Structure 1
Amino acid sequence: MTEAEWLTCQTPRKMIRALGTKLFGRRHTLFLTGIVQSLAEHLSPTARSLVALHEQFAEREIETAAYREQLAALDAADCQTLDRPLPVSPAELAAHNVDVSIFNILQALKSYQSNNSLRASLEYGTLAAVNATPECLRPQARKDFQSHACDLLRELFPPLSREYVVQPDFVGGGLLMPDGTTFRVPEFARNIALGVQRDQAFDRLPILADALEDAHCPDRPLLDHLRHGTNHRRGCWALDLVLGRG
């Protein structure tokens, strides 16, 4: 997939297919939590807690034992949200289908990571977005959800034709840019990035871009993403690179 195709694609399945095995591990989790969070107004408190827990574990902010203990308790509570009388009216049925779709994505978050689970979660997310919308607006709701999923992938990954490499300290460190040059992130810029990550203060990313530009960072797409990217979240590819996370 070319850079132009990546930046304009509106079909998340194509992007997932192009990513191949890159969309596993931490970013697999962050993509699925991003899908769930796009349905924020329909999430129960338990679902919100589950999303936060999965993200904390993906970011290594919580120990495995504590994660498993909290997951078991929250998972049991989440199952209870579906334990209610069967819906009768069309509105009740639609709301029930939204809850079931969200539940299925949350289940995928704790299952074996695969492209099948990604595709299934995309379908569940689409169904939730559609069922949460009046019937006359459902075609647009489907398009909007697919567009959001593509934007989420663009937040987690740079264009696939642009390869960045975080170099280990034993070869001098720094970022190997797509043009073959090496850029070493200065300490003051790294401290800004650490603050953004710690506080989840993504509105500071343009400040980080200015700091990198002042340090003569040569990569315009990276700077542009920090300045103009929308819907920034955990896993932002440009922030990850500055922090030394490949």
Structure 2
Amino acid sequence: MTEAEWLAASNPALLLGFLRGSEEYRKFRLFACACARRVVHLVRDERAKAALGFAEQLADRTGAARRGRPAIHKAGLAACQSLWGQDQGRFDSGELLAHLAESNATHAAVKTAEADATVAAAACTTASLAAAYTTCRPPRFPTPFPPDRGDRIADEERTQVVLFRDIFGSPFRPVTFSPSWLTPTAIGLAEAIYADLAFDRLPILADALQDAGCEDIDILAHCRGDWPHARGCWVVDGVLGKR
């Protein structure tokens, strides 16, 4: 893949395939979580929500956290099975769409806790796209699927691509963060953004970095751009020294 193809891609599977085999397992898991977060409002089962929350912690922890993963994942799978086991024949068309959306969103939340982070990323992009596919025009349809599903899923794919680039940055233009930029103010802001998902503070982080001497156009524009961000944002990670 060339840089031009990377920038033009509108399908997250292409970007996942290009970086598969790299050792950025933490970022693959955080991308999985970012996809699941987009549809977690459809999830009602607390076991699935717990799997997603655990996966976000797992991305930054080892040891005891990893040993706890199988039980959390198993409980989440039970949540999926309880939905899949329901008699779908009893639903009318609107209820069926809601059920399918919840099932796919639950699946996305649970797959974030897969052992292999690259598998988690691929599964979560697919499952969250499937959830979006069935939530186009609530609540009732004359047919099992909404008529504008193609546009809706294309929009969701584009958003996932933006999130993927937000987390991984550009493999063609790696950025080095000068130690002189990493002031207590910049680090404190980055820590709060990371912990609280407070991405509205990214322009403030840009100001702090610029005050410390950063004039890197890619860094400043990324912080000040109007697009979705996720935990693992490459600028925040760069300030915090995370990989």
The answer to whether TM tops 0.5 is yes
Q: Contact 1:157 / 1:236 at 8 angstroms: preserved in 2?
A: yes
User: Which whole-Å deviations, capped at 9, do the CAs of 1:28-66 have from their partners, x for residues lacking one?
Assistant: 211112112222342225233332221122233994255
Pairing 1:163–2:138 present: no
Matched with 1:44 is 44
Matched with 1:199 is 196
| Superposition pairs of residues 8-87 of structure 1, within 5 angstroms | 8-22=8-22, 24-46=24-46, 47-60=48-61, 63-64=64-65, 70-87=72-89
The number of equivalent residue pairs is 232
Amino acid at match of 1:199: D
Distance 1:154 1:132, change over 3 A: same
Instruction: Say which SS state the counterpart of residue 49 (structure 1) adopts.
Output: helix
Identity %: 28
Higher mean displacement: 100-109 or 184-193? 100-109
1:216 to 213, 218, 223: 213
Amino acid at match of 2:88: L
Question: Over aligned residues, Cα RMSD in angstroms?
Answer: 2.9
Q: Contact 1:9 / 1:15 at 8 angstroms: preserved in 2?
A: yes
Instruction: Say which SS state the counterpart of residue 21 (structure 1) adopts.
Output: coil
Please, what TM-score do these two structures have when normalized by structure 1?
A: 0.79
User: Which whole-Å deviations, capped at 9, do the CAs of 1:175-220 have from their partners, x for residues lacking one?
Assistant: 36xxxxx755223322222232233322111111111111111311
Q: Contact 1:226 / 1:238 at 8 angstroms: preserved in 2?
A: yes
Matched with 1:168 is none
User: Which whole-Å deviations, capped at 9, do the CAs of 1:69-119 have from their partners, x for residues lacking one?
Assistant: 555555544543444333333333333332332343344333342656544
Q: Contact 2:73 / 2:110 at 8 angstroms: preserved in 1?
A: no
Q: Contact 2:167 / 2:232 at 8 angstroms: preserved in 1?
A: yes
Amino acid at match of 1:144: D
Matched with 2:130 is 127
Matched with 1:104 is 107
1:232 to 229, 234, 238: 229
Instruction: Say which SS state the counterpart of residue 188 (structure 2) adopts.
Output: helix
Please, what TM-score do these two structures have when normalized by structure 2?
A: 0.80
1:156 Cα deviation after fit: 0.4
Instruction: Say which SS state the counterpart of residue 87 (structure 1) adopts.
Output: helix
Pairing 1:141–2:156 present: no
Q: Contact 2:219 / 2:235 at 8 angstroms: preserved in 1?
A: yes
1:235 Cα deviation after fit: 0.5
